[in-house]
Amino acid sequence: MEAELGTDAYRNWIAPLTFEAVIEGVAHFSVPIAFIGRYVKRNSGDKIIELFAEHREHISCLEFHVDDSRRAAPVAPVREEKGAAATPAEPEPLPGAPLDPRFTFDNFIVGKPNEMAAAAARRVAEGGPVLFNPLFLYGGVGLGKTHLMHAIAWEIQKKNPGYRVLYLSAEQFMFRFVQALRFRNTIEFKELFRSVDVLMVDDVQFIAGKDSTQAEFFHTFNALIEQKKQIIISGDRAPGEIDGMEERIRSRLQWGLVADLHPTDYELRLGILQAKAEAYLTDHPEVTLDPTVLPFLAHRISSNVRVLEGALTRLFAFGSLVGRAIDMDMTTECLSDILRASSRKVTVEEIIRKVCEHYNIRQTDILSPRRARVVARPRQVAMFLSKTLTTKSLPEIGRRFGGRDHTTVMHAVKRIEELRQSDSQIADDLEMLRRMLEA
Ligand SMILES: Nc1ncnc2c1ncn2[C@@H]1O[C@H](COP(=O)(O)OP(=O)(O)OP(=O)(O)O)[C@@H](O)[C@H]1O
């Protein structure tokens, strides 16, 4: 199914299904919310039946049951039969996306870069009079916007079980709107969206440039604000900076509280890693982790938390597979691709500058034709580092070193490679320079 639908659609629609049993030709599944069952039945029902047949299980239809313990929004049960209606007493099911049970406030580590956003999220989740409306959370990729939104939704639902909390991505909002236009039920669409107590729209930048969706969003937004219903929105940048977003929407998004998630710093990354490692090691006491590993990862992987988490998960999987303690050797071996991709892009100019500082010589000398040993050796070191730490070609490096020929660079690289084996001073210099350049 994943290959057929793509990872995102699979995660949203198929992953939340739990297969229960086939009884008399009917395949039973439990779902966290009724809407997922209806959606899957309509869009992927035939495919699922086909897949069962491929596994020699001949079923005639699918039936979905809402499992209350997994429920993310108050919804009615749904049956698979065509035309089966929801129990009348239940409110109209909400077309939200499932909430991730791991994304709670307890699991969210707060540090300087995200303290303002986390505090605002907690304040909104506490409920009470709606003070900030909307709450707009923004920040770069993988910095915890979705995590915070889910945490707010879980908290509000815990405090107010009867609340209709609708969380969905801006893309899903557009999809629902387009469906409503297609099936001519825009009135129901409007009523549904205006009947919620809390509306959360993730990645709002998605609707930039999509005029009719923006107009619909604008009206929904206004209607809810008027009813004093809480709205929480996230985006990848500040409202004023979203290109292709109508001015009236941009300005409304700034009405309430705008809080940003800054890129993580070393301490926050280390805190996140420690919390995740602690949780894992408690469940897997047989795994041992060298204390140098987490500081090393926090230092080296600064792109985003998702990559950091992925690295740790891979390391634990690898560690438990090979049954060895997780140390620095295993870390660099197992994560070589991530570490390479995360290492800072060093330039030839930086290398020249650092090498000159280290050997206390002038940049003009290193670039000059001078062949005196005090200049020639550092020049060779700088050429070697340029070849190993950047992707520049030999001719390109030669050009940056005062227009030298590529064979000179080749010779320098070979010479330093040899000296590294025989001269511990050169080996130490190279290691120290490399660390300084990649820090
Ligand atoms: N402060 C934090 N504490 C614990 N986990 C975090 C923190 N920040 C981010 N994460 C984790 O990092 C991962 C990515 O976070 P999330 O999906 O919320 O990012 P996002 O900002 O919504 O990214 P995108 O822009 O891609 O939508 C999640 O697994 C989340 O749990």
Does ligand 1 lie within 6 Å of residue 109's CB atom? yes
ipTM: 0.98
- Please tell me the CATH code under which domain 2-70 is placed: 3.30.300.180
Q: For residue 96, how many C-alpha atoms fall within 13 Å in the half-sphere facing its CB?
A: 27
Does ligand 1 lie within 6 Å of residue 239's CB atom? no
pLDDT above 70: percentage of residues in the chain = 93
CA of 83 to the centre of ligand 1 (A): 39
**Beta bridge partners of residue 258, listed in sequence order:** 136
| Domain spans in the chain, listed from the N-terminal domain onward | 2-70, 112-261, 266-342, 348-438
pLDDT in tens, 240-258: 889 888 899 999 898 889 9
Whole-angstrom distance, CA of residue 335 vs CA of residue 337: 6
Q: From 99, 106, 145, 147, give the residue whose CB has the most ligand 1 atoms within 8 Å, as the site to mutate.
A: 147
CA of 96 to the centre of ligand 1 (A): 19
CA of 405 to the centre of ligand 1 (A): 48
Cβ-based neighbours of 145, under 8 Å, separated by 6 or more: 137, 138, 139, 202, 203, 234, 261
What atom of ligand 1 comes closest to residue 103's alpha carbon?
Answer: 31
How high is the pLDDT of residue 80? 37
Which residue did the predictor score with more confidence, 57 or 239?
239
Residues 69-89: what's their mean pLDDT?
A: 41
pLDDT in tens, 155-206: 999 998 888 899 999 999 998 888 888 888 888 888 888 889 999 999 999 9
Q: pLDDT-based confidence at 121, cuts 50/70/90?
A: very high
Q: pLDDT-based confidence at 82, cuts 50/70/90?
A: very low
Does ligand 1 lie within 6 Å of residue 309's CB atom? yes
Check whether domain 266-342 has CATH 3.10.105.10, yes or no: no
Does ligand 1 lie within 6 Å of residue 306's CB atom? yes
Does ligand 1 lie within 6 Å of residue 272's CB atom? yes
CA of 88 to the centre of ligand 1 (A): 38
DSSP letter string over 50-119?
Answer: HHHHHTT---SEEEEEE-GGG-SS------SSTTPPPPTTSPPPP-PPPPPTT-SSTTPPP-GGGHHHHH
Assigned architecture for domain 348-438: Orthogonal Bundle (1.10)
Does ligand 1 lie within 6 Å of residue 305's CB atom? yes
Q: In the predicted model, what is the mean pLDDT of the chain?
A: 87
Q: From 141, 143, 150, give the residue whose CB has the most ligand 1 atoms within 8 Å, as the site to mutate.
A: 143
CB contact at 8 A, 238 and 138: yes
Task: Name which of 171, 309, 330 is nearest 235 in CA terms.
Answer: 171
- Please tell me the CATH code under which domain 112-261 is placed: 3.40.50.300
CA of 192 to the centre of ligand 1 (A): 29
